[in-house]
Amino acid sequence: MHQIKYALFYDFHTSPQHPDVGKNFDAEKLTDRFVECGVDYVTFHARCNMGMAYYNTELGTRHPHLDFDLFGQLAEACQRKGIGLGAYFNVGLSRAEGIAHRDWTTVYPDGQMYHQPFDGPFSLTMCYNSPYRGHLIAMALEVARKYPVSGFFFDCMSAWPCVCPNCVRLMQEQGVDCHDKAAVQAFAVRTRNQFAEEISAALRTVDPEYLIYFNDVPFETQQKAGSYLEFECLPCKSGGYAYMNVQPHYMRTLGKTCVHMTGRFNRWSDFGGLRNAYTLKYELFFAMANGMRPNIGDHLSPDGHVNETVFNRCKEVFGALRKYDRWFDGARPLADAAIVWHNGAEVRLKPVVSGAVRMLTEMKMQFDIVTTASSWDRYQLLIFPDEVKFDDEMRRRVEKHVARGGFILASGVSGLDQDGRFPAAWGVDYVKKAPFTPAYFLPENSGGDEVMPFSFYDDAHEVVPHPGTRTVSPLVRPAINREWTGIYPEYYNPPWKKTDLPFLAVNGRTIYCSGNIFLGYARTAPVPVRDVLAKTLEETGYRPLLKVAGAPSFLQLFVNRIPSGLTVSMLACIPEKRGSEMESVEDELTAGNFELSLKLEKDPGKVFSVPDGQPLKWRRNGDYITFTVPEFTGFGMVAVE
């Protein structure tokens, strides 16, 4: 199986009306540019979302204005130059084939085939229970048998709810009510997942070592069908840098090669966009520090000419990354804490998860995001943010974690069972949602000179501590709830009285917070909440993998294990909003002259900055070694060997 190091991804969705397709395509010149950039894997369209094929097909429709085997020439040139080639097929969209075979398209529950906006690619989608299913598999096999490809990328595999005759007959056979929208959607998900497994099984009869990825199929769902994972993330399009910060912490726990795909542009179909090198370097250094390989998305112009400006940008960015190859090769991110969520498919969508990621990142904690698809045994601290739904397996794992002396931070209603009971480790009994809003908290363990009630910007819950559970921070209520009385808008609700209800309750090594703190942090990131949690974790005896003193708040830190020891990667960049849709890194910032403390059982042989090899003095401080980080700009790294 090809091991991706540096990748490019090409969109080539081309209208059948477009003239001169491939007129200026030169496979030798294009692949020479790949080599110059250090690229070893390229994904390119065999068939696009317009239904146009770019190879000599006996099954599909080659683009009417393409008069040669473009994909075949590229495949041959890549093979000669040692570059892996992934064949792209759009599964959910195939416009020309959908027009030619109307019975291959989705009939939505509202009876419509076309959906707004009509000028967007998703206005007509394909049905996976139609003859299109066999046709798509046959085309993929045609490419596999005809060309020396290393893998396949299957795009837009969303689960479209369909009530066409093919789907309804299958639903009736399976006892599914075709009038029940939720049941139809669940049927569509099963259909999509089975289709992915069939595609994968067919291709593996040709080569079991293919790289195969299904875009829009949840990562855990394609653990069997897929062989690697791609994270498509344009921060201008996909929820911003908050979204980028979430997914890698989850993907890296699933045991597969992960690729981070950004783009040289601001969004797909943006042919004139070129993002700056600072932005691309930040995103791809972040990816590599999280155990992912870098991939830059691009568009090939319909005429196929080489865009030298784009290649110069890719060469600059990949050149900066390659200086660190020795320390990223074989690197594995380390984490001693984990955010636990109950559904992997939801991780990227949930503000509560995003809020938890933001808080832990600011605390410089080394953490993963896990479900029950991964082991929890390697983590000191498990975090259950606000609304984690428990099943028997999660409850069993919590009991095991507590029995071996692990730490827990839970908040909100996380852990409640169907009878409204928390796990015993929480040390509190759930009563109800707190009867006052807004709620405040008093950080009585803050140690500061000034103590005032602080907001956490979401709801609180009323709980009763067990004997032996101590309250370290109480809830504070307003005199009047925020509401409309019918006469007055009760909008101004300052803190009034300290209650007997805990905001933070500690039971041994378990901290329970009665407020929905991570939802609140996703909205407003209140620093007092973060600080009181950090203080309480320290008081319970939690000792993180990494500690920092004197570093700027924006600094992101990632610890990796490499064959020769450990590395600490440091990112000093601040994404900012530029325009209503644009987030960008416009400058690399300078940081340094702060102390890092790394938990290490044995004394290291040497500590040095990367890539210049400058030795750093270190000292032993209990379980930690401590050293001062030299000044760096943008991206820095220290190796401990």
Range 304-309 contact pairs with CB under 8 angstroms and sequence separation of 24 or more:
304/21, 304/22, 304/23, 304/24, 304/25, 304/26, 304/30, 304/70, 305/24, 305/25, 306/26, 306/29, 306/30, 306/33, 309/274
pLDDT bin (cut points 50, 70, 90) of residue 451 is: confident
User: Looking at the structure, do residues 593 and 458 belong to the same domain, yes or no?
Assistant: no
Q: State the total domains in the chain.
A: 3
Tens digit of each residue's pLDDT (9 = 90 or more) over 43-69? 999 999 999 999 999 999 999 999 999
Is residue 346 predicted with pLDDT exceeding 90? no
Range 15-21 contact pairs with CB under 8 angstroms and sequence separation of 24 or more:
15/50, 16/50, 16/52, 16/63, 16/64, 16/65, 16/96, 18/65, 18/302, 19/65, 20/65, 20/302, 20/303, 21/63, 21/65, 21/66, 21/70, 21/302, 21/303, 21/304
- Spatial CA neighbour of 290 closest among 554, 564, 571: 571
| Residues facing residue 52 across a β-bridge | 61
CATH, residue 631:
2.60.40.1180
Give the domain-ending residue among 289, 322, 355.
322
Is residue 305 predicted with pLDDT exceeding 90? yes
Domain membership of residue 125 (yes or no) is no
Cα 263 to chain centroid distance, Å, stands at 16
Domain membership of residue 43 (yes or no) is yes
- Spatial CA neighbour of 171 closest among 158, 183, 182, 159: 183
User: Looking at the structure, do residues 312 and 363 belong to the same domain, yes or no?
Assistant: no
Tokens, residue 2: 């090809």
Domain membership of residue 73 (yes or no) is yes
Pairwise CA distance, residues 250 & 335, whole Å: 12
Domain membership of residue 246 (yes or no) is yes
User: Looking at the structure, do residues 533 and 551 belong to the same domain, yes or no?
Assistant: no
Mean pLDDT of the residues in the chain: 95
User: Looking at the structure, do residues 352 and 450 belong to the same domain, yes or no?
Assistant: yes
Residue 401: what pLDDT?
98
User: Looking at the structure, do residues 339 and 400 belong to the same domain, yes or no?
Assistant: yes
Please give the full DSSP string across 201-222, using - where no structure is assigned.
HHHHTT-TT-EEEETTS-TTTT
* Other Cβ atoms within 10 Å of 517 Cβ, number: 30
Is residue 449 predicted with pLDDT exceeding 80? no
- Spatial CA neighbour of 390 closest among 349, 347, 419: 419
User: Looking at the structure, do residues 446 and 482 belong to the same domain, yes or no?
Assistant: yes
DSSP tag of 119:
T
Residue 446: what pLDDT?
57
CATH, residue 64:
3.20.20.80
Domain membership of residue 429 (yes or no) is yes
Residue 67: what pLDDT?
96
pLDDT bin (cut points 50, 70, 90) of residue 344 is: confident
CATH, residue 356:
3.40.50.880
Give the domain-ending residue among 518, 539, 560.
539
- CA gyration radius for the chain? 27
Is residue 83 predicted with pLDDT exceeding 90? yes
Residue 525: what pLDDT?
96
Tens digit of each residue's pLDDT (9 = 90 or more) over 568-591? 999 999 999 888 878 899 999 999
Query: Which range marks the domain in which residue 441 is found?
Result: 335-539
Q: How many residues are given for the chain?
A: 641
| Low-confidence winner among 41-55, 177-191, 333-347 (lowest mean pLDDT) | 333-347
Pairwise CA distance, residues 45 & 93, whole Å: 13
Query: pTM value?
Result: 0.94
Rounded to 5, what percent of the chain is helix, strand, coil?
30, 25, 45
Pairwise CA distance, residues 137 & 132, whole Å: 9
Pairwise CA distance, residues 17 & 15, whole Å: 5
User: Looking at the structure, do residues 517 and 559 belong to the same domain, yes or no?
Assistant: no
β-pairing, 454-455 with 440-441? antiparallel
Tokens, residue 368: 């993963």
Pairwise CA distance, residues 638 & 632, whole Å: 11
Tens digit of each residue's pLDDT (9 = 90 or more) over 231-252? 999 887 667 888 899 999 999 9
* Cβ(203)–Cβ(141) below 8 Å: yes
User: Looking at the structure, do residues 559 and 532 belong to the same domain, yes or no?
Assistant: no
Pairwise CA distance, residues 528 & 535, whole Å: 10
Residues whose CB falls within 8 Å of the CB of residue 527, separated by 6 or more in sequence, listed in order: none
622: left (phi over 0), alpha (psi -120 to 50) or beta: left
**Maximum CA extent, the chain:** 80
Residue 145: what pLDDT?
98
User: Looking at the structure, do residues 260 and 352 belong to the same domain, yes or no?
Assistant: no
Give the domain-ending residue among 322, 348, 381.
322
Please give the full DSSP string across 560-625, using - where no structure is assigned.
EEETTEEEEEEE-B--EE-SSS-EE---BPEE-SEEEEEE-SS--S-EEEETT--B--EEEETTEE
Tens digit of each residue's pLDDT (9 = 90 or more) over 408-435? 999 999 999 988 999 999 999 999 999 9
Give the residue carrying structure tokens 């081309």.
14
Domain membership of residue 594 (yes or no) is yes
Cα 503 to chain centroid distance, Å, stands at 31
β-pairing, 151-155 with 84-90? parallel
* Cβ(227)–Cβ(261) below 8 Å: no
- Spatial CA neighbour of 88 closest among 149, 32, 29, 131: 149
Tens digit of each residue's pLDDT (9 = 90 or more) over 262-299? 999 988 888 999 999 999 999 999 999 999 999 999 99
Tens digit of each residue's pLDDT (9 = 90 or more) over 98-145? 999 999 999 999 999 999 998 888 899 999 999 999 999 999 999 999
- Three-state secondary-structure class, residue 53: strand
Cα 347 to chain centroid distance, Å, stands at 8
Domain membership of residue 582 (yes or no) is yes
Is residue 462 predicted with pLDDT exceeding 90? yes
Summarize the confidence of residues 448-470 as an average pLDDT: 90
Pairwise CA distance, residues 319 & 299, whole Å: 21
User: Looking at the structure, do residues 482 and 498 belong to the same domain, yes or no?
Assistant: yes
Summarize the confidence of residues 531-551 as an average pLDDT: 96
User: Looking at the structure, do residues 525 and 444 belong to the same domain, yes or no?
Assistant: yes
Is residue 623 predicted with pLDDT exceeding 80? yes
* Cβ(521)–Cβ(450) below 8 Å: no
- Amino acid (1-letter code) at residue 91: V
Residue 582: what pLDDT?
84
Residues whose CB falls within 8 Å of the CB of residue 242, separated by 6 or more in sequence, listed in order: 354, 357, 358, 522
User: Looking at the structure, do residues 317 and 339 belong to the same domain, yes or no?
Assistant: no
Domain membership of residue 186 (yes or no) is no
